[in-house]
Structure 1
């Protein structure tokens, strides 16, 4: 059995996302998300550079969005993995709540908070 090396809790989250880089935007669907990154379905036709950050937008409602600046760290036929480089305070608050609500752990709030405050 392999040991789990992830430091951040990943949760499945079914929502639409948009990947924007170099003035071009690509629609996608979220596979899972963490405080450290996001896994998205691979768009049908896309051109993304791994050496340049992309903006990921998640629309939660008409008034609520999550925006993160992220770097493409792996790509495949079915999924694209991004590492979160930066995220604003309002977005991290929404993301933290999404993760808490989607965890099957009664101590989810404490665990996610520890992930936020522990130095990398």
Structure 2
């Protein structure tokens, strides 16, 4: 286990859902690799021409086009094939959907409560 994995406080869950990354007028349909209460990891879109000094909006479409998770995100790490984003802002409805998604996949209410406390304390 790497130091990065040991420092991870938010459990990532692999999740496949139609996802879009936006920055101003730019739009990228992206492949979602995983998501947590704190951010997401995506496959790097081609071509990738973004202003890395600006924030992004990530939209994860859940079971239909109506239910979605929207969050303002910042690029935290860039690899040749993957991009990692941290959540800067998420509205209450999106947080409720994300919480439920993570809760269903974590399967441990104690762990879920710990992650929520960590999120609130950040």
Q: TM-score, normalised by structure 2?
A: 0.87
How big is the alpha-carbon RMSD for the aligned residues of Structure 1 and Structure 2? 1.7
Deviations 1:96-117 (A, max 9, x none): 1111111253644433433343
What does residue 25 of structure 1 align with?
Answer: 27
| Inter-partner Cα distance in structure 2 for 1:109 and 1:6 | 14
What does residue 89 of structure 2 align with?
Answer: 86
- Post-superposition offset of 1:37: 0.8
What does residue 74 of structure 2 align with?
Answer: 71
What does residue 45 of structure 2 align with?
Answer: 43
Any gaps of 5 or more consecutive residues in structure 2? none
The answer on whether the counterparts of 2:103 and 2:109 sit within 8 Å (CA) in structure 1 is no
Q: Give the number of equivalent residue pairs.
A: 119
| Inter-partner Cα distance in structure 1 for 2:30 and 2:86 | 16
Q: 4+ runs of 1 displaced by more than 6 Å? A: none
Q: TM-score, normalised by structure 1?
A: 0.88
Any gaps of 5 or more consecutive residues in structure 1? none
| Inter-partner Cα distance in structure 2 for 1:52 and 1:114 | 28
